[in-house]
A = this chain, B = another copy of it.
């Protein structure tokens, strides 16, 4: 199995990317890595070239580049070349910790959409209080969505949860402003109707945002605008909470002593809310596994993402989606499919 890796994307590239790649190659003997980026810089950290091939390029997409334009203009960017290798059949999947929007555009324009899936969706796995976690999509690949898109998101999330997260008959829920069938806006009402009337996956109905972290579903479907809002609300609240907790704990000598006793547990608490341990966010709906590693990924984050992608290739996630996509076909899907 060959995995194309963008060595130049992310806050700690190329160092942590290269270190993560070496760790993955050492652990999994069945993978080969194609590493795209600045050869000189990569070689500073690459101490073992076993099953690692460098494809040199000077060009890269910056984190603040305008995504669509960058992908069109920087045809030799490390991220674009990694995707091109997948398109050309030289690699089975690709990974980048770089510009999220650019990776979505690259996946869509270079690798291409699965026939029958109208819109790709970005899907991270988020933490829950028990540590089980859940897949949520779309988290921002599309600002506008139609009911048939959400119907398809359910299928893609379900296939992933079953194959990679090893959940038998995953519970797929629709994120809504109430649990009753009649609740919501036009999009959620129509999506509910479509999801209720399919049998490609296990639809359990609406769930509310306040229950997201409570293990109420394995896959949560929403439009990209709402998903992005909800994800950032969760992140922002977690960060605000931690900062206030920190202020409390450093408030006076007595508290500092007490805090020192609790340090290990509080670090664990913080780690529990850090969802990079579940791997990166998948771009579902394109012709091969494309995964966005967290921008702040260290070597371990990259290793985890490679492990995740390896699992996606091995368990044929994309092939399964292709095979089942007809089950979620409705009259409303687009003409070009």
Q: Which residues of A are interface residues toward B (Cβ below 8 A)?
A: 128-129, 140, 143-144, 175, 177, 184-186, 208-214, 224-226, 228-230, 232-241, 243-245, 248-249, 251, 254-255, 257-259, 261-262, 265-266, 268-269, 272-273
Enumerate chain B residues within 8 angstroms of A241, measured Cβ to Cβ.
237-238, 241, 273
CB closest residue in chain B, given A208: B232
> Within the assembled complex, what's the spacing in Å between the Cα atoms of A28 and B186?
46
A interface: dominant SS:
helix
Q: How far is the CB of A164 from chain B (nearest CB, A)?
A: 24
> Are the C-beta atoms of A236 and B209 separated by less than 8 Å?
yes
Besides A144-B185, A209-B236, 20 new A-B residue pairs in contact (Cβ under 8 A), listed by A number: A177-B225, A185-B225, A209-B230, A209-B232, A210-B233, A212-B236, A214-B240, A226-B226, A229-B233, A233-B233, A234-B236, A237-B237, A238-B241, A241-B273, A244-B272, A248-B265, A248-B266, A255-B265, A258-B261, A262-B262
Enumerate chain B residues within 8 angstroms of A232, measured Cβ to Cβ.
177, 208-210
Could you give 24 example pairs across A and B, Cβ below 8 Å?
Answer: A129-B244, A140-B177, A143-B186, A177-B224, A177-B232, A209-B230, A210-B235, A214-B240, A225-B226, A229-B230, A229-B233, A233-B237, A234-B237, A238-B241, A241-B273, A244-B269, A245-B245, A248-B269, A249-B262, A249-B265, A257-B258, A257-B261, A258-B258, A258-B261
Enumerate chain B residues within 8 angstroms of A229, measured Cβ to Cβ.
175, 177, 209, 226, 229-230, 233
Q: Across the A-B interface, give the 6 residue pairs with the lowest CB-CB distance, nearest first.
A: A210-B236, A233-B233, A258-B261, A209-B232, A237-B237, A210-B232
Enumerate chain B residues within 8 angstroms of A211, measured Cβ to Cβ.
236
CB closest residue in chain B, given A178: B228
> Within the assembled complex, what's the spacing in Å between the Cα atoms of A195 and B76?
41
> Are the C-beta atoms of B258 and A237 separated by less than 8 Å?
no
> Are the C-beta atoms of A255 and B244 separated by less than 8 Å?
no
Enumerate chain B residues within 8 angstroms of A234, measured Cβ to Cβ.
233, 236-237
Enumerate chain B residues within 8 angstroms of A237, measured Cβ to Cβ.
213, 233-234, 237-238, 241
> Within the assembled complex, what's the spacing in Å between the Cα atoms of A261 and B185?
47
> Within the assembled complex, what's the spacing in Å between the Cα atoms of A185 and B187?
14
> Within the assembled complex, what's the spacing in Å between the Cα atoms of A129 and B244?
7
Enumerate chain B residues within 8 angstroms of A239, measured Cβ to Cβ.
210
> Within the assembled complex, what's the spacing in Å between the Cα atoms of A228 and B208?
9
CB closest residue in chain B, given A131: B244
CB closest residue in chain B, given A254: B261
Contact of A209 among B214, B233, B254 (CB under 8 A): B233
Enumerate chain B residues within 8 angstroms of A262, measured Cβ to Cβ.
248-249, 255, 258-259, 262
